[in-house]
Chain A
Amino acid sequence: MKVEVDEHACQGHTLCAMVAPDLFTLRDEDGHSEANNGGEVPRGLEQAANSAISSCPERAIRMIED
């Protein structure tokens, strides 16, 4: 499973990193989100990834098929 943050849609609400801290890193300068490891979701963190997707107010995170 892979996730992708649309950098144009992300506004730095920070909820993805709150619910899935292992999957997303917030930029120091503005708190905008970047997916870790090129968006690769480690086994066992699929639920956290889905939580992050459904927590984003801007709907900026999507799953991409491998």
Chain B
Amino acid sequence: MDDVNTVTTDGAAKTEELKKCPIDFERHGPGFREGFVDQTHELHAKCPIAWTGSYEDHWVVSGMDQVFAVARRPEVTNFRDADGSVNGYKGISIPAYDYGPYDTPSFLELDPPEQTDFRKVLNPYMSPAAVARWVPIIDELVNACLDDHIESGSIDFIDDLATVVPAITTMGMLGLPLADWDVHSEAQHALMYTPPGSPDHERVMKIVMASRAALTDAVPEVRANPRPGFVDALLNATIAGRELTDQEITGTLMLLVGGGFDTTTALTGQSLLWLSQHPDERARLAEEIDTLLDPATEEFLRYFTPAVGDARTFSDNVEIDGVEFKEGERVWVSWAMANRSPDVFENPDEVDFDRTGNRHAAFGLGIHRCIGSNVARVVFKRMITAVLDRMPDFVIDPNAVVHYESVGQINGLVNLPATFTAGERRGPGLTTTIERAQKIVVDEQLADRVTARRGR
């Protein structure tokens, strides 16, 4: 593909033409979810790079090759200039969030070298080797969630399982009390499903503030009582040659809670809903889970793409795929649409457990690859495995499913009530299990970083 920095007259004409025909891209609007597949087809066929005036003037990149080219360019930045002292760039959200007093950018909205330093500090807590240590605890929590409902024959997979386990696991990795998961839970979900300008905004901001306040208080608390986890890692971090301020640490914790809570919930809910609608594939996955769980997980990630996209800003004039981008222009990179690209994925609108070469972009591309991707995969896999094992005949009433009002940020579900043949408890319920798990986390120092094994 054409991917050069030289400006061509053809490029100028093409760029002008695109800007003259802006597309409708109201991601938070009521029709976006229903129209997603049609619009994806249309954009892929006509303009994998498009221009829109929705929310603010910006580019929309939807084809995998174009997304790949844009997301990995050094002239494309996530940077958010919080106090306006550098370049006015607006970070990864369109429309911009109102951060209020918490507007310190996290490392997702910083460039290298600061971003690189943050990743070096936090990666050893979330690498595959680090996450593997958590599996026994995750299994206990999953089974406790199921135990609390298995005798009744009914469960809401969102409220009673998919919201709970990712949240508690994240709390554990932070080094904060597991039992406090619900201080943040509803805030994180509501923040994602509430469209901009919703009448519900005030209620949501109130609970979000409570969540932020708790993460603010956590910083001095862990400083006074050191224990392993993300908070401790950030307290002891040297980023670009200096220590972090408490506010910077809080901002980072908010990113980690935001990333850790709602995304895996969305993936799990959507996948369970799909499995209930496809009984043959469900039976096959249960039967061949040892070999199919990995490819099925990647396929669900591709197909549902929980975090649908992110904004970026061009930090220089650049030509990509025959389109001229100007310094300062904004772009929305649609991971979800890229994951349906017909030139990369055969039958892109089908879930296919046998798909090979599944190079999906559900965790983003480039240096900002979701830092929690390994956590997400493991937590998701343990939940799916347990449900298929213990509630194999679950039925979901499609009329009782509640989708997020807005899927402009996270492609999630509010409710997913299911019924199944009642079974037997295997252990104590969630409250007791959280207490037990907390003791194991502390005794085994689970939230500590992995240290590289030598001589491999």
Given A11-B365, A51-B357, A57-B365, 7 extra CB contacts under 8 A? A11-B369, A15-B359, A18-B294, A26-B128, A29-B123, A30-B120, A57-B361
Given A14-B128, A26-B129, A28-B452: A54 and B359 interface contact (C-beta under 8 Å) = yes
Cβ-defined contact, A28 with B359, below 8 A: no
> Within the complex, what minimum Cβ distance (angstroms) separates A31 from chain B?
4
The residue from A18, A25, A54 contacting B456, defined by CB atoms under 8 A apart: A25
Cβ-defined contact, B358 with A13, below 8 A: no
Cβ-defined contact, A28 with B356, below 8 A: no
Chosen A-B contacts, 22 in total, with CB atoms closer than 8 Å, are: A12-B123, A12-B369, A12-B373, A13-B369, A15-B298, A15-B359, A19-B356, A25-B456, A27-B127, A28-B129, A28-B130, A29-B123, A29-B124, A29-B127, A29-B450, A29-B451, A30-B120, A30-B127, A31-B123, A54-B357, A55-B356, A58-B365
Assembly CA distance A57 to B72 (angstroms) = 11
Cβ-defined contact, B450 with A59, below 8 A: no
B129: chain A residues at CB < 8 Å are: 26, 28-29, 31
Verify if B374 is at the interface (C-beta below 8 Å from A). Answer: yes
Verify if B20 is at the interface (C-beta below 8 Å from A). Answer: no
> Within the complex, what minimum Cβ distance (angstroms) separates A3 from chain B?
15
A54: chain B residues at CB < 8 Å are: 356-357, 359
In the complex, which residues 90-127 of chain B have their Cβ closer than 8 Å to any Cβ of chain A? 119-120, 123-124, 127
In the complex, which residue of chain A has the Cβ closest to the Cβ of B366?
Answer: A11
A56: chain B residues at CB < 8 Å are: 359
A11: chain B residues at CB < 8 Å are: 365-367, 369
Assembly CA distance A29 to B119 (angstroms) = 11
Q: Place the interface of chain A in its size category.
A: 20 to 34
Verify if B300 is at the interface (C-beta below 8 Å from A). Answer: no
Verify if B25 is at the interface (C-beta below 8 Å from A). Answer: no
| Residue of B68, B357, B360, B449 with highest tally of chain A CB at under 10 A | B357
A26: chain B residues at CB < 8 Å are: 127-129
In the complex, which residue of chain A has the Cβ closest to the Cβ of B357?
Answer: A54
A19: chain B residues at CB < 8 Å are: 356
The count of chain B contact residues (Cβ–Cβ below 8 Å) is 31
B361: chain A residues at CB < 8 Å are: 57
Verify if B363 is at the interface (C-beta below 8 Å from A). Answer: yes
Cβ-defined contact, B127 with A28, below 8 A: yes
A-B complex: 6 closest residue pairs judged by Cβ atoms: A54-B357, A30-B123, A11-B369, A28-B129, A31-B127, A57-B359
Cβ-defined contact, A31 with B356, below 8 A: no
Verify if B453 is at the interface (C-beta below 8 Å from A). Answer: yes
A57: chain B residues at CB < 8 Å are: 359-361, 363, 365
In the complex, which residue of chain A has the Cβ closest to the Cβ of B365?
Answer: A57
B294: chain A residues at CB < 8 Å are: 18
Residue-by-residue, is A1-39 near B (CB-CB < 8 Å gives 1, otherwise 0)?
A: 000000000011111001100000111111100000000
Cβ-defined contact, A59 with B124, below 8 A: no
Given A26-B129, A58-B365, A59-B68: A15 and B124 interface contact (C-beta under 8 Å) = no
| Residue of B68, B359, B451 with highest tally of chain A CB at under 10 A | B359
> Within the complex, what minimum Cβ distance (angstroms) separates B77 from chain A?
17
Assembly CA distance A25 to B374 (angstroms) = 15
Assembly CA distance A25 to B369 (angstroms) = 19
B367: chain A residues at CB < 8 Å are: 11
| Residue of A11, A26, A51, A57 with highest tally of chain B CB at under 10 A | A57
B369: chain A residues at CB < 8 Å are: 11-13
Residue-by-residue, is B372-405 near A (CB-CB < 8 Å gives 1, otherwise 0)?
A: 0110000000000000000000000000000000
B72: chain A residues at CB < 8 Å are: 58
B373: chain A residues at CB < 8 Å are: 12-14
In the complex, which residue of chain A has the Cβ closest to the Cβ of B359?
Answer: A57
In the complex, which residue of chain A has the Cβ closest to the Cβ of B120?
Answer: A30
> Within the complex, what minimum Cβ distance (angstroms) separates A23 from chain B?
15
B123: chain A residues at CB < 8 Å are: 12, 29-31
> Within the complex, what minimum Cβ distance (angstroms) separates B123 from chain A?
4
Assembly CA distance A60 to B411 (angstroms) = 28
> Within the complex, what minimum Cβ distance (angstroms) separates A36 from chain B?
10
Cβ-defined contact, A27 with B452, below 8 A: yes
